[in-house]
Each structure stands twice: as C-alpha cells, then as structure tokens.
Amino acid sequence: MKTFTETCILWLSCILLFSGNSINAFTYDYTATTECLGEPQRAQYGGGIIVNPDFNQSLEAGWSTAIGQGNIEERISEAGNRFIVVHNRTNQLDSLFQKVQLEEGNLYSFSAWVQLSEGRETVAVFFKTTDGDLVRGGSVIADHGCWSLLKGGIVANFSSPVEILFRCENTKVDIWVDSVSLQQFTKTQWKSHQDNTIDKIRKSKVRFQVTDANKTAMRGAIVSIKQEQSDFPFGCGMNHYILTSTDYQNWFASRFKVTTFTNEMKWYSTEKRQGHENYTVSDAMVKFAKRNGISIRGHNIFWDDPKYQPEWVNSLSPEDLRKAAEKRLKSVVSRYRGKLIAWDVVNENLHFSFFEDKLGDQNASAEYFSEAYRLDPTPIMFMNEYNTIEYCRDEKASVANYLEKLQEILQYPGNEGISAGIGLQCRFGSGQPNLAYMRSSLDILGSTGLPIWLTEVDVGKDPDQAQHLEEILREGYSHPAVQGIVMFAGPELAGFKNMPLADTNFNNTPAGDVVDKLLGEWESEILEIKADDRGFVDALLSHGDYSVTVQHPEANSSTTLSFRMTKDIPQTTIDVQIHT
Ligand SMILES: *[C@@H]1O[C@H](CO)[C@@H](O)[C@H](O)[C@H]1NC(C)=O
Ligand SMILES: *[C@@H]1O[C@H](CO)[C@@H](O)[C@H](O)[C@H]1NC(C)=O
Ligand SMILES: *[C@@H]1O[C@H](CO)[C@@H](O)[C@H](O)[C@H]1NC(C)=O
Ligand SMILES: *[C@@H]1O[C@H](CO)[C@@H](O)[C@H](O)[C@H]1NC(C)=O
Ligand SMILES: *[C@@H]1O[C@H](CO)[C@@H](O)[C@H](O)[C@H]1NC(C)=O
C-alpha cells in the first residue's frame, strides 16, 4: 500500500485531486499505471460498491468462489498486505467473485490489481448477468512477481445483480487479486467529470488589467474577447471528391483545421501498377489543405491487412516485396517531408501482419518506423488500430497488446528518439458505447505520457447515432491524454454513407448538428466584459488565438491586441493601456 503522493504518479490526476475536491462521485480518478509493482496500490474510490475491497476483513465479507472447484486462500505479503489467491483452477473462469447490483443507465469504473503464480497471461474481468451472459469489462497482461493494474468498466443497459469474475485462459496458473474497485456514476456525474476536466485541461485563466496612461485603473472599460482559432485539433477525414466540389470545399474549410485523407495516400492509390507511381490526386489534396491552413495526418505508409495491398504486391517474392516496400516508403515519406503533422506508419499491425509474415521478419513494423523517422523526423509516428478502446472483447487489439507492440517498436535499436503517438481509430458500432471502458483504457494508454489521437471516429447506424457520436467526442475531448480527434465522415455527396454529416444539399444531418454544436462549444464565445473598480476583467478561455479590443466610454480611443492561450500557461495577466 502506497502513500498518497506515491500513488499520485500521474500528472493530471494530481492536479484534479489537489484542486480541493476529495474523491467522491463527482470526481473521477484518472490515475493509472502500466508499471508492474511490488505491492498493489489501494483500491480506487475505497472500493466503491465492492465490499471488503482490500481483503482486510475475513473473506466471507463479500466474496465467494465461482464456477468450478478453484480454492480461495488469503495470503499476507512480507509488507503485511492481505490479498487473495485462487488456485486449483480447472476452468478459465474459476475465480473469486462478488455479487453487486447494477442500475440501468449508470456507468461503472472498474479496477483491480492482479498477479499470477507463474508466467505471463491475459487476465480479464467479466460481469456475469443473471441470464448467464458474460460481459467483458477489460483486461491486462499479468505477470509473476509483481502486481499489474487492470482498469476497465461497463455501462449498464439493465438493472440486475451481476457477479464480478476474473478469467485467465491458462488454468494451470493461480490468480492473485487485491484492491478491487467498482465505482458507480450516473450519466449526470459522468458528464460533470467531463465538464470539470475540460475547464482544467483545455482552458486557462486570463486577467486583463486596464489602466490609462498614468497607470490609473480604468473602471468601466469594456474588454471584448474573440477567439480567432482553437488550439485543439478537431478535424475530419476527406476524400478526392473535395477536388471537384466547391460545396464540399466550403463545407470543409469553414469547419476544420486538420484532416486525414481516407484513401488517397495509401499505397494501393499511389502505385496501382508496379513502378507507375501517380500522386496527382494526393498532391492536389495536399495543396487544397495547405491553401486553407488545414494540417494533414499522413495515412498511411503501410497497411498490414493482406486485403488492402496493391494487387501486384501479393505475387511478389519476399525479396521483391522488401525492395518494393522500401521504395514505397522512401517515395511517399520524402514526397511529403515537412508537410505532415503525423504518419500512420503501419496501419493495423495488431490485427494483421502482412509484412511481418511475407518477409519473415517480426521487426518489419519497427524497421518502417525507423526508416520513416530517418527520412522525415517532424511528423509524430503513430500506430493506428481499431477496437482498442471501443470494444473490449477484441483481445488482439487490447490496450495491453497495443502497448506491448508499441514498446517493441520504440525499443528497437535506433528508435529511441522517435516521437511516437497512439492512434486509436474509434470505429464504434451501433448500440450504447461503453464509455466507462473507453475512459479507463485512455487512462492506461495515457499513463505512458505519449500523445493520443482518436483518428477515424465513426459510429454505427442506430436511431441514436448522433447522440452516441456526441458522447464519444465529449469523452475524447475531455480526456487529459487526448491531443487530437479526427472523424472519418463527411458529406453524403462524397460517399460518406455510414455517418454522413451533411445531406446531398449540404444541410446538416443530426450527426452534423452534433459536430457543429461541439465546434461552437469548444471555442470560447465572443465575450464583452466590463472592468471592475480595479480595472480587472477575468475570463476562463479555451486554448487558442485571441484578438481583444479594449474601450472606455469616456475615452476617444481603443486598444487592440492579440494573444495566445496555451496549456502551458494555466493563468496569465495582460496589461492594457488605453489613452484618454
Ligand atoms: C445491452 O447491450 C448489449 C450490447 O450492446 C446487447 O447485446 C443487449 O441486448 C443489451 N441488453 C438490453 C437489456 O438492452
Ligand atoms: C495624467 O497625468 C498628467 C500629469 O500628471 C495629468 O496632467 C493628467 O490629467 C493625468 N491624466 C489622467 C487621465 O488622470
Ligand atoms: C494519374 O492520375 C490522374 C488522376 O487519376 C489521371 O488523370 C492521370 O491520367 C494519371 N497519370 C498517369 C500518367 O497515369
Ligand atoms: C529483431 O530485432 C531484435 C532486436 O530488437 C533482434 O535481436 C532480432 O534478431 C531481430 N529479428 C530479425 C528477424 O531481424
Ligand atoms: C475623437 O476622435 C475623432 C477622430 O480622431 C475626432 O474627430 C474627435 O474630435 C474626437 N473627439 C473628442 C471628444 O476628442
């Protein structure tokens, strides 16, 4: 068990905790770590609705064994910490369990510390309903010899008791468990975490101090504050239709300052026939973006899915593939050197391994990162995966596997200096998104300190599609580790059929309304504030560029200035003089 400051390893959680609120239902604990520790940390939220979360009482308080004949045993570490060991497991789900009541509409954040008697295995948490359904709530790769944090969650779409269980596929190992926590939040509380965090991480305080030429406070001066540009990159994918439709161009350029080309930079687009590269379309799109001050995420150098290679690539020998891939990487990275803010280097290399398999080289991804970085060190180099935070049943792309792969790439000799990023596609299906799991996963991924981008946000068709989109975008924007969001959507005219933002007449769809609402909300509105007796005007402003005009009713002149609010400056004072 650690002291508070020791557990407070993480940047922003500390700010949130120290800012005066004790932990209660209105604060969310973003603390997470990927470190494997000698002793587990204390249960978050004091365990929440879990009885006997730290096993400091006798086991009968709260806990039972489930499924097969696994035995539970209490143990005490050398440091005096009590925990539980499940041994003699014969079934994957042999585990201790606790029954808790879930309420429909609430969100539940789960965490626990786990360890194994030997080896290294995935341990997952499940919520077993009274119908026997097993709802997965998160997982971690647990080790022998130290404790790992499993963080996850569930959104209840039913009111019913559930049993919380741990699963490990390997029944030969004992599962050790400690510090189990399930904290319940209403939707209102969840939204208030988002709003509070947005105020802390996306805004800063500014004070204007208005005086005359003699440094006398100018009471009653009017300070008008207008945000010219937002710092937060909230953008949208685009495709080649943008080159031929001025309506699409206007629609896009009036909203977004960052983009990803959905297909046009991909290998299958730029080299349809071997040796005949054609960048006409991609170049024109880069030109359009530059002309309109839109930053570009490069997407992608390679895609590890065998289905999405240029046709001619499939029949190449390993040696010819190696040469062709080298040429491709050099060609596209050099062509757009200095013009991109990011590269998706090897797309979907958790789900697929086309290059690794064909080349017989498990280091292929790491080598491509290395080579891309050598040719253009400025873009952040991303992995880019689906299902990591949207769907916790997909173990291939689990948070733990994502981080393991990324670490493997970054530890590859020579790759240490790469500025890497975590790309999360966020291709949500239909139905209620599991925001509790999404947030926990972002906590863990964010504990690496690497920038996270939601790169291809898309939501399945559903009567509540627009609402789900809003929930997902708010969850991303309000998370301290998320540094950018790009949707893969657009006007119907350009073929965005799954989640069109504008219909064929460029009128907003409900999803388009959500996007415009959030664009408006995430920029500060135009403010006009009167200075108090001391000549002070205080405001909380979203990060970005501002222009300000200061006037006094009795003065015949005004002063204008521009300034920039960034996350590095939590508060600042700006002196303004007006001449009377
Ligand atoms: C709850 O959601 C899951 C997954 O979206 C779905 O399969 C299930 O039918 C839902 N249950 C209820 C009671 O709506
Ligand atoms: C500023 O100071 C000058 C000289 O002391 C004085 O003449 C003038 O009236 C002052 N102006 C104001 C606005 O107080
Ligand atoms: C390259 O692509 C453009 C756009 O598709 C096309 O118009 C042009 O003919 C192509 N150039 C060659 C040499 O194939
Ligand atoms: C992969 O890289 C590691 C070093 O990180 C090296 O030991 C290993 O031999 C490489 N494997 C191949 C197939 O190149
Ligand atoms: C205010 O400034 C304008 C333009 O410089 C000038 O024409 C006018 O006479 C001034 N008024 C006063 C009250 O000083």
Beta-strand ranges (E) seen in 348-498 are: 380-385, 420-424, 427-428, 452-459, 482-487, 490-491
Ligand 2 atom index nearest CA of 212:
13
- pLDDT tier, 236 (very low <50, low <70, confident <90, very high otherwise): very high
Question: Would you say residue 19 has pLDDT above 60?
Answer: no
- Find, among 392, 395, 419, the residue nearest to 406 by Cα: 419
Structure tokens at 409: 């790439």
pLDDT of residue 68: 64
Q: Which residues are catalytic?
A: 348, 456
pLDDT of residue 282: 98
**Phi and psi at residue 371, to the nearest 5°:** -70, -40
- Find, among 398, 392, 420, 304, the residue nearest to 352 by Cα: 304
**Phi and psi at residue 551, to the nearest 5°:** -135, 155
- pLDDT tier, 24 (very low <50, low <70, confident <90, very high otherwise): low
Q: Mean pLDDT for the chain?
A: 93
- 238 class by beta-carbon count within 10 Å (0-12 exposed, 13-18 middle, 19+ buried): buried
- Find, among 358, 263, 269, the residue nearest to 310 by Cα: 269
Ligand 1 atom index nearest CA of 431:
5
Structure tokens at 118: 């030997």
Question: Would you say residue 40 has pLDDT above 90?
Answer: yes
3-state helix, strand, coil in the chain (%, to 5): 25, 35, 40
Residue 572: CB within 6 Å of ligand 3?
Answer: no
Tell me the percentage of the chain whose pLDDT exceeds 90: 89
- For the stretch 430-457, pLDDT in tens is 999 999 999 999 999 999 999 999 999 9
pLDDT of residue 67: 63
Tell me the percentage of the chain whose pLDDT exceeds 70: 95
The residue whose CA has the least distance to atom 7 of ligand 3 is 280
pLDDT of residue 21: 42
**Phi and psi at residue 447, to the nearest 5°:** -70, -10
Contact 497, 201 (CB under 8 A): no
Q: Three-class SS of residue 111?
A: strand
Give the CA-trace dihedral at 389, 391, 397, 399, to 10 degrees: 40
Residue 280: CB within 6 Å of ligand 3?
Answer: yes
pLDDT of residue 138: 97
Q: Centre a 10 Å sphere on the Cβ of residue 275 and count the other Cβ atoms it contains.
A: 8
Contacts of 434 (CB under 8 A, 6+ apart): 153, 154, 155, 390, 391, 392
Give the CA-trace dihedral at 452, 141, 165, 81, to 10 degrees: -100
Q: Which helix (H) or strand (E) holds 401?
A: helix 399-411
Q: How far is the CA of 578 from the centre of ligand 2 (A)?
A: 13
The residue whose CA has the least distance to atom 13 of ligand 1 is 158
Residue that the structure tokens 């030109």 belong to: 287
Residue 495: CB within 6 Å of ligand 1?
Answer: no
The residue whose CA has the least distance to atom 6 of ligand 2 is 214
- Find, among 481, 465, 495, 366, the residue nearest to 424 by Cα: 481
Contacts of 442 (CB under 8 A, 6+ apart): 389, 452, 475, 476, 479, 481, 482
Give the CA-trace dihedral at 214, 217, 223, 225, to 10 degrees: 90
Question: Would you say residue 265 has pLDDT above 90?
Answer: yes
pLDDT of residue 482: 98
Rg of the chain's alpha carbons, rounded to an integer? 26
Residue 278: CB within 6 Å of ligand 3?
Answer: yes
* Ligand with the closest atom to the CA of 554: 5
Distance CA 349, CA 355 (A): 9
Ligand 3 atom index nearest CA of 281:
4
Structure tokens at 356: 């690794």
- Find, among 100, 79, 70, 90, the residue nearest to 176 by Cα: 70
- Find, among 1, 113, 98, the residue nearest to 52 by Cα: 98
Structural domains present in the chain: 14-192 (2.60.120.260)
Q: What is the mean pLDDT of residues 416-442?
A: 97
Question: Would you say residue 334 has pLDDT above 90?
Answer: yes
- pLDDT tier, 71 (very low <50, low <70, confident <90, very high otherwise): confident
Q: CA of 317: how far to CAs of 306, 324, 414, in Å?
A: 15, 10, 28
pLDDT of residue 16: 44
The three-state (H, E, C) secondary structure of 499-528, written as one string: CEEECCCCCECHHHHHHHHHHHHCCCCCEE
Which of 325-329, 452-456, 571-575 bottoms out in mean pLDDT, i.e. has the lowest?
571-575
Question: Would you say residue 45 has pLDDT above 90?
Answer: yes
Residue that the structure tokens 């500390």 belong to: 14
Residue 211: CB within 6 Å of ligand 2?
Answer: no
The CB-side HSE value for 275 (13 A sphere, CA atoms) comes to 1
Question: Would you say residue 137 has pLDDT above 60?
Answer: yes
- For the stretch 524-561, pLDDT in tens is 889 999 999 999 999 999 999 999 999 998 877 889 99
Distance CA 55, CA 74 (A): 8
Question: Would you say residue 186 has pLDDT above 50?
Answer: yes
- For the stretch 275-325, pLDDT in tens is 999 999 999 999 999 999 999 999 999 999 999 999 999 999 999 999 999
- For the stretch 102-134, pLDDT in tens is 999 999 999 999 999 999 999 999 999 999 999
Distance CA 492, CA 224 (A): 39
Contact 151, 111 (CB under 8 A): yes
The residue whose CA has the least distance to atom 11 of ligand 2 is 214
Question: Would you say residue 20 has pLDDT above 60?
Answer: no
Question: Would you say residue 2 has pLDDT above 50?
Answer: no
pTM tops 0.85: yes
Question: Would you say residue 4 has pLDDT above 80?
Answer: no
Question: Would you say residue 14 has pLDDT above 80?
Answer: no
Question: Would you say residue 10 has pLDDT above 70?
Answer: no
